[in-house]
């Protein structure tokens, strides 16, 4: 095999312009390995394809066995080498994939709706005892990170705005800015992003593993609806948990702003809080909670759909988990934008 390159070069040189009949006389060959025989057979196949009659002869018993082992007596079936996909083909394929994904998501939404109707008719069929542990996993266990992230977001927001507002002597309005933007926009969005990264990814991975291990099929053959058993409890858990986490995020974000106000802007804690309460109305908090509610449905829907779509073992599960996070983030930003426009147009 070490001399295979030389052997192939010589062989091709000798046969490049061959016509009529070519006989590979192996009578002087005492031994040959598999790689060399494979190359010889490939050259012979190319000759045959060009219409040149090519045959192998004179091989001793040992060499002939190897030739036969590599199908030298029959010839090999040609196969096409995979070529890199062109840019246009990639764009086309990706477009079709996006359309297919959107269709699958709508299909899943339809199945979820049917499962929801079935559960309303027969509530006992739901896997409700799973909701408690799921609330703990997705809610209670996420509290520390929600506290930290939103505190820092409130802190940074106040810090950045303080510099500009100081120029106008409007230090106190930091409380208004932080309070309104957190309750209406940032807290629900940041909380949803955290839940999407933590719980959405976990849902997709968990359900994806179950899918590739045939556990979803097993559930179906036990007469149990995978939607009722897996998706509904997850969705209910997120619907319960995300608004609560959003409320916590509101408070802790305002606390972050308060710290900056007290330390950097010489505001009194009482003054800061009174200004916040004056600026932030109940409806501001409610809009954030409404967003949290819709975000939770979107996260659960996308994560579970991606989990159900997993195929092809661990690699497929990993791909779907990543896709779940990316799609959910995209959905969250789009929903947030739609909400903002909607509230703005209705002056809410």
Partner 1 sequence: MMSIPVLKATVPRAWPVTGRARFVCASRSVPRGGRADSDKAMIEVKNLTIGWGDTIVQRDLNFAVKRGEVFGILGGSGTGKTTLLRFLIGLESPTKGEIDVAGRGPPNLEAGLPPFGVMFQAGALFGSLTVGENVSLPIEEWTSLPEDAIAAIARAKLKLVGLDGAANKFPAELSGGMKKRAAIARALALDPELVFLDEPSAGLDPIMAAGLDELILTLSKTLGLTVVLVTHDLESIFRIANRIIMLDRETQTSIATGDPRELRNSADPRVYGFFNRKSRED
* Binder among 210, 303, 317, 331 for partner 1 (CB under 8 A): 210
Stretch that binds partner 1, among 45-53, 173-181, 219-227, 239-247 (CB under 8 A): 219-227
Minimal CA–CA distance to 242: which of 301, 190, 303, 306? 190
Asked whether position 213 contacts partner 1 by CB under 8 A, the answer is: yes
* Binder among 221, 266, 345, 346 for partner 1 (CB under 8 A): 221
**Which secondary-structure segment (H or E) carries 111?**
helix 87-121
Cβ(1)–Cβ(35) under 8 Å?
yes
**Which secondary-structure segment (H or E) carries 149?**
helix 143-167
Stretch that binds partner 1, among 76-84, 185-193, 207-215, 313-321 (CB under 8 A): 207-215
Q: Cα(316)–Cα(129) distance, rounded to whole angstroms?
A: 29
According to DSSP H, which parts of 122-142 are helical?
131-138
Hey, CA dihedral for 194, 198, 201, 204, is it positive or negative? negative
Asked whether position 225 contacts partner 1 by CB under 8 A, the answer is: yes
Binding letters toward partner 1, positions 119-158, x by CB under 8 A: ---x-xx---------------------------------
Q: Cα(165)–Cα(174) distance, rounded to whole angstroms?
A: 7
According to DSSP H, which parts of 23-73 are helical?
34-49, 61-69
Minimal CA–CA distance to 173: which of 186, 161, 187, 156? 161
Asked whether position 215 contacts partner 1 by CB under 8 A, the answer is: yes
Count the Cβ atoms, other than its own, within 10 Å of residue 241: 25
Count the site residues for partner 1 by CB under 8 A: 17
Asked whether position 314 contacts partner 1 by CB under 8 A, the answer is: no
Q: Which CB, 46 or 209, lies closer to partner 1?
A: 209
Asked whether position 113 contacts partner 1 by CB under 8 A, the answer is: no
* Binder among 209, 264, 322, 340 for partner 1 (CB under 8 A): 209
Asked whether position 222 contacts partner 1 by CB under 8 A, the answer is: yes
Cβ(261)–Cβ(158) under 8 Å?
yes
Stretch that binds partner 1, among 16-24, 78-86, 153-161, 210-218 (CB under 8 A): 210-218
* Binder among 50, 62, 73, 220 for partner 1 (CB under 8 A): 220
Q: For binding to partner 1 (CB under 8 A), which residues are involved?
A: 122, 124-125, 209-210, 213-215, 217-225
């Amino acid at each position: 095999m070490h001399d295979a390159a030389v052997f192939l070069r010589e062989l091709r040189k000798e046969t490049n312009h061959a016509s009529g009949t070519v006989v590979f006389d192996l009578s002087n060959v005492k031994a040959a390995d598999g790689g060399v025989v494979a190359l010889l057979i490939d050259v012979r196949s190319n000759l045959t394809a060009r219409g040149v009659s090519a045959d192998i002869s004179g091989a001793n018993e040992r060499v002939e066995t190897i030739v036969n082992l590599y199908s030298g007596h029959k010839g090999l079936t040609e196969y096409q080498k995979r070529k890199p996909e062109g840019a246009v083909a990639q764009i086309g394929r990706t477009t079709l994939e996006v359309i297919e994904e959107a269709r699958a998501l709508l299909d899943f939404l339809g199945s979820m709706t049917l499962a929801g109707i079935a559960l309303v008719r027969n509530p006992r069929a739901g896997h409700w005892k799973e909701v408690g542990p799921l609330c703990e996993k997705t809610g209670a266990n996420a509290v520390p990170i929600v506290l930290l992230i939103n505190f820092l977001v409130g802190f940074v927001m106040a810090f950045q705005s303080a510099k500009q507002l100081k120029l106008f002597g409007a230090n106190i309005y930091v409380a208004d800015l932080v309070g309104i933007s957190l309750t209406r926009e940032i807290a629900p969005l940041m909380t949803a992003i955290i839940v999407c990264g933590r719980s959405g990814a976990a849902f997709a991975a968990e359900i994806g593993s179950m899918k590739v291990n045939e556990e979803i099929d097993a559930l179906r053959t036990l007469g149990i609806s995978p939607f009722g058993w897996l998706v509904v409890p997850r969705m209910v858990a997120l619907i319960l948990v995300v608004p609560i986490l959003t409320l916590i995020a509101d408070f802790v974000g305002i606390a972050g702003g308060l710290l900056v106000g007290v330390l950097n802007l010489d505001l009194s804690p009482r003054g800061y809080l009174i200004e916040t309460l004056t600026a932030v109305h109940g409806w501001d908090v409610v809009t954030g909670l409404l967003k949290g509610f819709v975000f939770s449905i979107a996260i659960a829907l996308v994560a579970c759909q991606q989990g159900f779509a997993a195929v092809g073992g661990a690699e497929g599960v990993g791909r779907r988990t990543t896709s779940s996070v990316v799609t959910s983030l995209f959905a969250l930003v789009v929903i947030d934008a739609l909400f903002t426009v909607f509230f703005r147009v209705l002056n809410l």
